[in-house]
Structure 1
């Protein structure tokens, strides 16, 4: 597969087949992620793979709680939230055979001093985000689907994901990625904005 094919065919997949992802594919995803640029060469990321039934059930519940928190944050009425909740659980939305949580270790940094705290944090998050993109593109090549989950970053929910991963508060969850074989046809969506809308040449 050409890189351009992987880029153009990557899309958010929210429904997955009940089919196991081979260990070698999971390792290939993380190896691709580790090839991403990393600020100051720190490689201060950690990839936690949740694949046991118990862990996946807990992660699935936390995603559902995060979605509800998100809906409330945008002031959706409770009756609409209830319908969305039913849709998530009835359709098995976001239920995947594998979840990969991408953390950064905030203690690992290059610049010392409180004045660099925010900058070091941003660099670490950017590094992990690029790793996630590599992972997602590799998934396309392997015939897998992925979707970025950000709602697990609500404070109480992130804490539970960290505890499930056996980590302390020094670790920050950058993203949670469900991984699996897509259920149904995958159709990449067109972007709402064109190249001219988001590009400026100076």
Structure 2
């Protein structure tokens, strides 16, 4: 499969087969993740693989709680929040055999001045985001599905994931990635904005 095909086939998969993901495939995902560029060569990322059944149940519940808060903040009516709850708990949306949490250590720094703290934190997030993209593209090659979950990075939810993982507050959750074999048909979708709307050449 050529890179362009992998990129075009990558999409957000929200439903997964009840099927274990092989250990070697999980390791392959993280191996390509850490090949991403990393600001100042810090490699201050951590990839936490949640496979334990109890942890996965708690994570699935947390995904709903975080989405519900997100959509309420957006003004979505409660009847639609209830439909979301049904999709998540009754239909199994986001219920995956594996979740990968990608964290960065805010205290691992290259520039020590306080004036650089914020920008170095942003660089760390950018590095982790590139690692996540590598991981997601490799998943396509391995016939796995993934979905980027950002709402679990809201503080009270990422605090739950840190506690499960045994990490202190220095660690920031950049993204939570469900991983599994897709239970839905993979149909590449075009972006809403065409290239001409997002490209500026000067």
Q: Secondary structure at the match of 1:91?
A: coil
The number of residues matched between the two structures is 202
Q: How does 1:54-69 map to 2 (within 5 A)?
A: 54-69=54-69
The yes-or-no answer on 1:26 pairing with 2:26 is yes
Runs of 4 or more above 3 Å deviation: none
The yes-or-no answer on 1:135 pairing with 2:135 is yes
Q: How does 1:121-200 map to 2 (within 5 A)?
A: 121-200=121-200
TM-score normalized by structure 2? 0.98
Larger CA deviation: 147-156 vs 136-145: 147-156
For 1:104 and 1:91, the matched residues in 2 are separated by 32
TM-score normalized by structure 1? 0.98
Larger CA deviation: 108-117 vs 132-141: 108-117
Please tell me the root mean square deviation across aligned C-alpha atoms, in Å: 0.7
For 1:131 and 1:18, the matched residues in 2 are separated by 26
The yes-or-no answer on 1:4 pairing with 2:33 is no
Q: Is the 8 Å Cα contact of residues 49 and 100 (structure 2) preserved in structure 1? A: yes
For 1:12 and 1:189, the matched residues in 2 are separated by 10
Larger CA deviation: 27-36 vs 191-200: 191-200
Gaps of 5+ in 1: none
